[in-house]
């Protein structure tokens, strides 16, 4: 690397080791310390929705402010996200929702 972004081997390995230790500590907390103990019902209920909350958090910026379009919202991606949400809400199933959203993106491209 050149310029102001020089990274020495020491800094690189410090970051890698620090991230590895942090990742291990977080996993050990749940698996090693809490793994054999019963968790409160309210915590189990909250943890059940973690995966459901992560996907929209990852997808929303890509739909509303995509880098590929210079930060401009793409109407087709917005329509596909809307269809995916509507089908998922109505059917309460992931696969039909994902297929409907994919079809919303693919079918117009094939027709026009």
pLDDT tens by residue, the chain, 112 residues: 455 466 788 899 999 999 999 999 988 887 787 777 888 899 888 888 887 788 888 888 888 888 877 888 888 889 999 999 999 999 999 899 999 999 999 998 888 7
Domain assignment present for residue 14? The answer is yes
Q: Tell me 71's DSSP state.
A: T
In a domain, 44, yes or no: no
Q: How many CA atoms lie within 13 A of 89 on its CB side?
A: 6
Total-model pTM: 0.57
Residue 60 falls inside a structural domain: yes
Q: Are residues 18 and 68 in the same domain?
A: no
Indicate if 11 and 32 belong to the same structural domain.
yes
In a domain, 27, yes or no: yes
> 87, 97 in Cβ contact below 8 A?
yes
Residue 102 lies in a domain: yes
d(CA 96, CA 89): 11
27 and 71 fall within a common domain: no
**Is there a single domain that holds both residue 33 and residue 55?**
no
For residue 45, being part of any structural domain is answered with: no
Rounded Cα–Cα distance for residues 104 and 81 (Å): 9
């Amino acid at each position: 690397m050149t310029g102001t972004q020089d990274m020495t081997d020491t800094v690189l390995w410090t970051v890698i080791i620090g991230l590895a230790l942090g990742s291990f500590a977080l996993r050990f907390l749940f698996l090693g310390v809490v793994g054999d103990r019963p968790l409160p019902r309210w915590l189990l209920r909250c943890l059940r929705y973690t995966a459901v909350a992560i996907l929209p958090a990852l997808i929303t910026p890509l739909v509303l402010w995509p880098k590929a379009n210079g930060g401009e919202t793409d109407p087709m991606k917005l329509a596909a996200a809307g269809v995916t949400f509507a089908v998922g809400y109505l059917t309460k199933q992931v696969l039909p929702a994902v297929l409907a959203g994919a079809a919303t993106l693919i079918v117009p491209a094939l027709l026009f």
